[in-house]
Structure formats: structure tokens, C-alpha cells
Amino acid sequence: MAQNTRTAPAGTPTNVTQNHTKGGIGESTLRPDGTLKVTGEFAYSSDMWHEDMLWGQTLRSTVAHALIENIDISEAVAMPGVYAVLTYDDLPAKMKNYGLEIQDTPVLANGRVRHHGEPVALVAADHPETARRAAAKIKIDYKELPLVTDEASAIAPDAPLIHEGRDDHHAGHVPHPNIVHRQPIIRGNVEEARKRADVIVEGEYTFGMQDQAFLGPESGLAVPAEDGGVDLYVATQWLHSDLQQIAPVLGLPPEKVRMTLSGVGGAFGGREDISMQIHACLLALRTGKPVKIVYNRFESFFGHVHRHPAKLHYEHGATKDGKITHMKCRIVLDGGAYASASPAVVGNASSLSVGPYVIDDVDIEAIALYTNNPPCGAMRGFGAVQACFAYEAQMDKLAAKLGMDPVEFRQLNAMEQGTIMPTGQVVDSPAPVAELLRRVKARPMPPEQQWLAAGEEADVRALPGGLSNTTHGEGVVRGVGYAVGIKNVGFSEGFDDYSTARVRLEVINGEPVAMVHTAMAEVGQGGVTVHAQIARTELGVTQVTIHPADTQVGSAGSTSASRQTYMTGGAVKNTCEAVRAKALEIGRRKFGSYHPAWATAELLLEGGKVVTDGGEVLADLADVLEGEEIDVELEFRHRPTQAFDLVTGQGNGHVQYTFAAHRAVVEVDTELGLVKVVELATAQDVGKALNMLSVVGQIQGGTTQGLGVAVMEEIIVDPKTAKVRNPSFTDYLIPTILDTPTIPVDVLELADPNAPYGLRGLGEAPTLSSTPAVLAAIRNATGLELNKTPVRPEHLTGTGA
């Protein structure tokens, strides 16, 4: 990858504790798990093993919507090596459903399946192949039902109800039971504003279903305990949320379901929902033996939710001098058979649908549907990605119609600190939208025709199509496109978002050592690195141990919504501050009589010593703590948020906003419809880079995922059967190193005064604007409208829709 740059205006506050202990905040310390992962020695959840362990297998539905008329398990039960076969009737507790917000998902299908691949039965056997063959012997008689696959079939007068008798808290405000949630946002008067517009543009946009495509499939190990409970070792994004869903359906109190995070091979939202957790626990409790479940890649596509596909209709108006007059949009998200995170995705899509622009008059509606398509939920960007694709295409249309430069048009309408969002919320921290756009536009362009080697012969590796040797430069055209996006940070809409940290400070072998214990799921984002940096900064120690994440400490919330560095990092910071205060109090008690500075000076912990703010050393921290141990557990909460009004959409719904901009440079073979992304330059405000190495990695990773959905990634669902047609990495394509362009990163650090260290959540924002930037560049090269993701060769050559 290319170099990155880092800038902050003179005098910008950073709100960082002044501490010079090595390995603290601001340094690019290396990940403690990095070498193990690179060398293949890291233990993931699929690597776990237990003596006398059984293997679990899930039998899934082969149809998308049907009544289950009969299940015959006799052949499976009779197989040697099979210890248990479970169906819905074998579930032990009255509570047989689970869900993140709405408990509408059955542990096993209850007389009816609602999507292709829904779990119907479970098998435990002494070998994974035995379990697989036993599951295949279970006979199920289905009576297929009419399908609901889109908005028209979902709200038709005779539409089958996906969930009859809904009584969840969204049911009362939706116009049809097959609508999970509806969120309007009304501000100003669009009809009056339309009269002031000199130009109006409209667009219909389609965003495809994207898979999180994480490295490690769903897996875990459940071990029955002597107290009648169970110990579960699992790869997840939120231990305590899993616990709240698992315990009731097992019929156990939460304290008897003990969860420990095992190695997580990526997540991106796909591990927010329960997959194999309950199934493994059920089989372990039934057999009295440890049970391990590991999905293969085919099953993984059915075992987790995906990004919501969307249909978006937008209208914008502008005056001839380039000021946007109004915006009207309707966003329809396909949530699939079960709710998952759909209500929250609707809230994000609607509240961020305007983008990072000043528009006073808006009329917005976002809904999520229940259908018989695969369930959809959380994925990096969470509703804002789909909206950004549409509103950025609209910005280019407006600029073109006005004859303006697309970047200058965006800058003219860019929001800034103090802007009022369509929800009425005031943006109270830096919003450098115009500056981010300036930076990506000012970056030097990559050389033209890099594929021409010495002697004017084409190097096919640098051409569209690459090593497939499909073109030697004939018909290759370059295009450049820009986009910028806005993403919220943290849980929103009145959710009680908090995180917990426990910190212990003690002397071991004559050296002060800190132990940090949280339930944060390390899914690859580098939280374990940052937590150690925070502890070193606040406590002035070199040695920091990160305790394995489990449910023996308070909740850390989900590793999602770009929130963990803010929230759990904030919890670690606050807890360390409390520990530091206790350590200094011990020092005053022990040594206060020897030096007046103990009582009069501002004291710090640096390099294992107690020092004054002037740098005078008062004592070794090890001497202060000798015979003492400090152990503190505290919760940390951000500023409260509000639920959006269900009529007007008004409310302070978000904690923080984050921004990123991209410039895409592409080369397109217009004859063959092949695209090569040459460069994806990005600029992003991160508030404060706690670890620049991790920051750049997150930005480049998010950018690459946005590239994937722009030109290759889409789960194809057959509209006639609602079956997934490409549940494997053979047919579902993701970017490889050969597809990934140069990604230069420009990092701004404009501190948010409300956040720990002034930081800004950053992991999701680059996923937003990279997709529309690539599409804009392809449009620039071809002149085509291209209102659908991903762009396929047939869209560029006129051979397909």
C-alpha cells in the first residue's frame, strides 16, 4: 500500500494525558496477536479441542417458505456413533425464540420454515462425517407456501404474513405486518423548496446483498458443567448479548451460562446474531459431553445475516448557483425472514440519508421488509452504506446538470461544525467535509497507462482483466470519481450504550504490572493493542496483561458501530484514572511526610515512577504498591441519545459523526466490460490516532470492502425460489490482493471534545464513500448511468440489465 500522511491544524486540542511511558497512546505499537496470525499459529475458535468431544451438525431447510408436515429422525438416531438428534419439540424451555431486538427467530423451525437454509434439526455424533451423514438421513415433508420476495409481494392485499400475530414494539406504527420498521424524517417544506429549484434530478438505485465474508466460519465449543450449566467458548461480537439470548432458551439462569471469547477470524457485523451458540449448548446439555460445531463455508453463508439489499428513490433540487434546495427519498431495505438488526439499520439509513450536506427541507422515508429472502442485519456501515451510494450519485447528477465541478459542488453544500442534521441534532464537533474533499482532489494522479512496459508492450498484469490476458490496452479508458460520506459512531436512538472495564494494578517480581479485563470482542480491529496503550499512558507502567474476554466482567457492548475504542477504550481510561488516584492516595499515605509535593503538586505516573508535573521523581511505583493491590471495575457511558420521533423523525439520535472521502481512479475496457481500480485515495478525520498503524489498516480494509461491493460482491437470490445461488467463494467473489489498488491515506486529527482523547470512531466510514467513488469513476470513463451495485461486465457492454 502507499504511504499515509497525518495532519492536524496548529493548536488543535487532543485531550491526551501527558505521559511518556513507552508504548502509550499515539505510538504505532504492534499487535500482540499479529505474528501468530501471520504465521498461522493463532488459535481460532475452529481450532478448539476437548477430550471425548462430540461434533454437532445442523440440518437446514431446502425450501424458502413451507409448512413442515412431518419429520422422521429414526434412521439418523439408529446410526452408530450418533448421540442425539433434536428438533423443535425437544427444546427444554418455554422460551424457544431469540433475537437482537425482536425475539422472532426460532431456535429450530416450529412447523414452518421462512427462508432457505433455516435450521430444522440438530445431530451430535462422535465424528463430524458421522454427524453430517446422520443429518442427511433425516426425512422432512414440506408443503410449500407462496413466497414473499419484494415490496410488491410483501404488502399486496393477499400477501402471506411472514410473522402472524406480531406483538413487538414496532408492530403498532407500521402500515403492514410485513414491514419490520418504518422511520420517516420530515424537516422544513419540500413542496415550497421545490419551487425555488432551478434544476431537479431524480434517481432509482439498487444496492445488492453483500456478505461479510469473514475469514473464520462460525464455530464454538460447549462444555457441560457439574452445576448443570454450560461453558461456551465461541467467536462472537458481543458476549453479553449472546448470553441474554442463550440462557432463556436453555432454561438456565445467566450465571450458569459462562461465555469466553475464543479466536475470532473477522466479523464485520456477521457475528452480531446467534448462529451455532444455542445449538452447541443444547447438544452438550442433552448428551452430557462437550460438543463442537464448525460450519463449512457453504453453511456459513446460511448461518449469518448479510447486508440489506436496498431500493432507493431520490430527488434533489438546486438553484443555478449550486445550492441544494431540497431532498426527498424513499429507502426500502429487504430484511429477510427475521428482524435481526433491521430496525436499527432503518434508523441509520433514514437519519443519514441526506449525507454530509446542508439541506434544510427534506422528506425521508425508510422501511425494512419481512420477506422469505435470507435474513439481513448488521454489516460494516449499517444502513449508511446503501444511502451513500445513492446520494453521492445524485450529487454527480446535480453537478453535471449545473455544469459545475463535482467536488466544488459538494464543497459548496458541505456541512460543518454547527450544522443542523435533518433530525434536528446539532453537529457539535469538527465536520471537515470540504477539507477532506480538497485533500483527495489535490493528491497527485497516478501515471496514465501504467500498463505500458518498456518497448511499448502491454504488461497484462496492470490491465483490466489482469492475468486472464483478455486485453492489451484496446478500448481501455480512464475515469476519475469522488465521493464523501457520513457515519454515526456508537449505539443510537436512546439505547443504553455502555462498556465496562476492570483494571488491577499490583507488583509482580518487583515490577508494577497492570491487568485489563473487559468483555470486548477482539475481532481483528486491534482493541487489545489500544487497551494496553491506554493502560500504559494512564498508569505509567510498561507491563500490561490483557485478560481473556468473558462474561465474568460487565458487558462491553458489541464490537460494532465503530464504538469499541470510544466506549471500551473510554471505560479502560476511566478505570485506569480511578486506579491511578488510588495508587497516589496510597503513596501519600506511605510517603507524604517525606516530601511536600505529595500534597501540593500535580502528580503523574510515568515510567514506573510517581513524578510531579515538573518531572521530579517522588517514588518508584513498585515501592508505593508494595504489599498493596488495586482492583477497580467501572462502567462508562457516552452522552445520552434519543429515539427518533415516529412521525417527524426529530431527535438527538446519535453520539458522534465521522467522515471520509475518496477519489477513485479506474481503467475500463469498454469493449469487454472489465474494470481495474488503479487507486482509491482517501482522507478521513479520526479525531486522535491512538495507534496510527491500526488506523491506516482500518481505513484501507474498509475501503477494500467498499470496492468489493462496487464491482464484484453480491449474494444472488433466485427471485422465483428465494434460494441463494452462490453460497461459496467460488461463486461469491471478494477482492484479492490482485484486485486491491493503491490506497494512500490522509489522516486528519481534529479532536472531538466530547470523546476520550478526542478520538473519533473510524472503522466504518471508509466503507461508505469508496463504493460510490468507484461507481463515479466508472461512469466518468463510460458515460453510463450505472445505478446498481455491483457493476458487472454486461452493464458496461450493453449485453445485460
Q: What is the DSSP string of 558-606?
A: -S-TT-HHHHHHHHHHHHHHHHHHHHHHHHHHHHGGG-THHHHS-EEEE
| pTM for the full predicted model | 0.95
Q: And the C-alpha cell for 424?
A: 434536528
Residue 349 to residue 559: CA distance in whole angstroms: 20
Helix/strand/coil for 792? coil
For residue 738, the one-letter residue type is L
Ranges under pLDDT 50 in the chain: 1-3, 7-18
Residue 654: closest CA among 432, 384, 305, 415: 384
Question: Please, which residues have CB within 8 angstroms of residue 203's CB and are 6 or more apart in sequence?
Answer: 313, 314, 390, 393, 394, 397, 787
pLDDT in tens, 305-316: 999 999 999 999
At residue 448, the pLDDT reads 87
Contact in structure between 208 and 309 (CB atoms under 8 Å): yes
Residue 272 to residue 3: CA distance in whole angstroms: 33
Q: And the C-alpha cell for 409?
A: 459542488
State the chain's mean pLDDT as an integer: 95
For residue 790, cis peptide bond before it (omega within 30 degrees of 0)? yes
Q: And the C-alpha cell for 308?
A: 440489506
Contact in structure between 45 and 262 (CB atoms under 8 Å): yes
At residue 13, the pLDDT reads 33
Contact in structure between 121 and 85 (CB atoms under 8 Å): yes
Helix (H) or strand (E) holding 513: strand 511-517
Dihedral of the CA atoms 166, 272, 756, 542 (nearest 10)? 150
The phi, psi pair for 541, rounded to 5°, reads -110, 155
At residue 19, the pLDDT reads 59
At residue 800, the pLDDT reads 61
pLDDT in tens, 8-44: 333 333 333 445 689 999 999 999 999 999 999 999 9
Angle at the Cα of 229 (from 225 to 230), degrees rounded to 5?
A: 70
The phi, psi pair for 519, rounded to 5°, reads -100, 15
